Amino acid sequence: MAQLVFRFYQALMFLSCVSMVAAFLAVLLGVVAREVHWDVVGLDAYAGYAIACALFLALPATLRKGEHIRVTLLLDRLPAGVRGALEWACLGLGFAMALTLAWYATRLVWVSWITHDISPGADASPLWIPQLGMALGCLGFALSFAHALWLRWQGEHFIAVGAEAARTE
């Protein structure tokens, strides 16, 4: 089961990479189009959608790698019992917030789909399409916090620890 969940995180990260490439190509096409005096409607919006998708889809894998902002300066100086309790509280609070975010992101996609909401920009795209990437990333983020809590319950670590994780702190 754990391998399936890790593969899901990898799939979301792959989709995030595809989104970043799509954003790059949209910006590049926009630059080239301006140089040859060719108007491509909605490229800025598509680049924005792709960047937003990339950010949200990368959330679970980023949490797994320990690349989110963490305050280990305080945690490293606490006694083991207090540190453990604080880590439990933070994981629980993170899960609750990620689950709430996933709920509302998924609800936003649903409402956009049933109301046929379209972008107010020149692209006039159905908004549920770019919102789908956000909702999928938020669902993965909530799953990753649930997974972290489960592994913590079993006495294992979900978030990468060690010198590699501490290099930016």
Q: For CA atoms 113, 115, 116, 122, give the dihedral sign.
A: negative
pTM of the predicted model over 0.75? yes
92 and 149 Cβ atoms separated by less than 8 Å: yes
User: What is the distance of C-alpha 108 from the center of its chain?
Assistant: 16
Quickly state the pLDDT bin for 67 (edges 50, 70, 90): confident
Handedness of CA 25, 26, 29, 34 (dihedral sign): negative
Burial group, residue 98, by CB count within 10 angstroms (0-12, 13-18, 19+): buried
Q: What is the distance between the terminal CA atoms of the chain, rounded to a whole angstrom? A: 32
Pick from 91, 7, 105, 96: nearest CA to 53: 105
- pLDDT of 53 > 90? The answer is yes
What confidence category does residue 169 fall into, taking pLDDT thresholds of 50, 70 and 90? very low
Of 21, 43, 24, which Cα lies nearest the Cα of 33? 43
Q: How are the residues of the chain apportioned to helix, strand and coil, as percentages rounded to the nearest 5?
A: 75, 0, 25
pLDDT one-digit tens code per residue, 114-149: 999 998 877 888 999 999 999 999 999 999 999 999
Give phi and psi for 126, each to the nearest 5: -60, 130
